[in-house]
Amino acid sequence: MATFVLVHGSWGGGWVWDRLRPLLEDAGHRVLTPTLTGLAERHDLSAPDVGLGVHAREVAELLESEGVVDAILVGHSYGGMVITGAAALAGDRVGRVVYVDAFAPVTGESAFTMLPWLEQAFAESPGPAAWEVAPLDPGLLGADDEGAAWLSSRMTPMARFTHEEPLGPGSEEVLVGRPVTYIYCADQALFTDIAAAAEKRGFHVLALPKITHVGLLTNPHILERELLKLVG
């Protein structure tokens, strides 16, 4: 039995994995789907200083509190920033890292520096507080009309600092010697350059041609298949 720790992306929560989680559990695996501070049911904890560091620490602390070893850390979108930082903090508790159409940063990079257009998009989508950003239109992320309506009803604003704060020094070094997979949702070109950079770093890159950025919601069975391949 493997332990999957699934980390959501911007404006989401543990709920984004609701269609994938039972598939992995039915295959006999343990699955943890934390909601990051300041999002979803934890939105009341949002604050100007809630950023990448806070989120990376809480995922690392979850692994320790749950007694997890050899975790398969899976991060979607912004969750890729988080699992990179968490892997550095958690050390041997992490066995494999999987990026799903996600940021895969190196030291000094933030979500904004990796996708510069995103900073302008955030500026045009202010949240209820001056330091927050409201969810972008899910249609821009590859959701159809029905999916976009469902996502819009669940997504919450989040602190802008999450995308401003860079990855700390040496955090990516923990990935050296560990198996790392990058799953690129190729039906949409949001993370094309990041996937290419991941391949240059020696990550195993898997392109899924018929899946958009929100494939974990629209095509959970395909993601389940690829994740289960990683555990044999």
Structure confidence at residue 49 (pLDDT): 98
pLDDT value, residue 188: 84
In this predicted structure, which of 54-63, 133-142, 171-180, 184-193 has the lowest mean pLDDT?
171-180
Catalytic residue among 10, 46, 77, 110: 77
pLDDT of residue 199: 96
| Three-state SS sequence of 154-166 | HCCCEECHHHHCC
User: Domains, the chain, ranges and CATH?
Assistant: 3-230 (3.40.50.1820)
What is the spatial distance between Cα 203 and Cα 96, in angstroms, rounded to a whole number? 11
- Burial (CB count <10 Å: 0-12, 13-18, 19+), residue 88: buried
Of 53-57, 153-157, 188-192, the poorest mean pLDDT is in 188-192
Q: Is there a catalytic annotation at residue 77?
A: yes
Tell whether pTM > 0.75.
Answer: yes
The span from the CA of 178 to the CA of 156, in Å, is: 34
Return the SS3 of 181: strand
Return d(Cα 61, Cα 217) in angstroms, integer. 27
Whether 127 shows a pLDDT value over 80: the answer reads yes
**Mean pLDDT of all residues belonging to the chain:** 95
